[in-house]
Amino acid sequence: MSTLIGKTALVTGASRGIGRAIAARLAAEGALVAVHYGSNKAAADETVAAIQAAGGRAFAVGADFGTEGDIDALLTGLDAGLGGTGLDILVNNAALAGGTDLENSTPDYFDRMFAVNVKAPFFLIQRLLPNMRDGGRVINVSSGVTRIALPETVYAMTKGAVETMSRNLANSYATGKRGITVNTVAPGPVDTGHPMFQIPEVVEGTAKATALDRMGEPEDIAAAVAFLASDDARWITGNTVDATGGMFLGPRF
C-alpha cells in the first residue's frame, strides 16, 4: 500500500506497543515517520530498524514529556530528521497509563498525568500547527474509558480532555480553513505484551466483553489511525473513532 507516499508523520510514544504499530503502519503506507520516545532510546531504535528492514523510512526523536523543555527538544530533533520538510501527520499517542483510584490519587500523580497526557499534546499541536502543511492530519489517541466507567478516574479525565481538545481544534479556523482534520481514536484493551494479558482468564474475560469476541491487537488501532491519516478521511473531522471492538455495548443474546 502506498497511500501516504510523500507524506511525513510524527508518532509520539512510538517505541513500543500501539505507538510502534502505528509508526510501522504509516511507514508501510509510504510516510517518513519520526518515532518519538520518552526515555527508551533502544526500543525506539528497534522500531526504526524494523521499519527500515521492511523498506520504510523512519528516524528516532527523544523528548521526556512533562519535563521542562520537552516540546523544544522534540521539535529540534524533528526538524533535524525532516531536513526542512513540513509535517503532514501528527499522532499524539504518548501517555501515562492509569491504575490509581480516587482514594489513592495524590496531587503529584494528578499533575504528572495531566502534564504528559494533556499538556504535552496540546502544546505540541500549538507549536506544530502553524508549519503543518495544508491538508494535514492531527490524530489524538484517547481511550475507551471515556465511555466505560472504571476506577481509573484521573486517567479517564485526561482522555476526556483529549477528546474535547480534538473536537474544539477541529472547529477552529487554524485547522478548518487549511483542510487540516483533527480526530480521535479511542482504543479498548489491547494486547501489547503486558504480563496481565498473558493470563488466560484475563484474555477470555476481555474477549467476552467485546462484540467481536477477541482481544484487541496494536495493528487494529494502527489501521484506524492509518485510515484517518489517508485522503479517504478528508471529510471526517471532530470525530472519535471507538476502536474497542464493541466493548460493553450491552447484553449479548
**Looking at the annotation, which residues are catalytic?**
155
Please state the φ and ψ torsions of residue 234, each to the nearest 5 degrees: -65, -20
Per-residue b/e over 103-141, b at no fewer than 16 CB within 10 Å? eebeeeeeeebbbbbbbbbbebbeebbeebeeebbbbbb
Enter the DSSP assignment of 231: G
Contact 214, 248 (CB under 8 A): no
Contact 108, 206 (CB under 8 A): no
Q: How many Å apart are CA 141 and CA 231, to the nearest integer?
A: 19
**Cell reading at 20:** 510502534
Q: Alpha-carbon torsion 46, 59, 220, 55, what sign?
A: negative
Contact 224, 253 (CB under 8 A): no
137 forms beta bridges with 89, 181
Which residues lie closer than 8 Å to 222 by C-beta, 6 or more apart? 18, 21, 22, 24, 25, 26
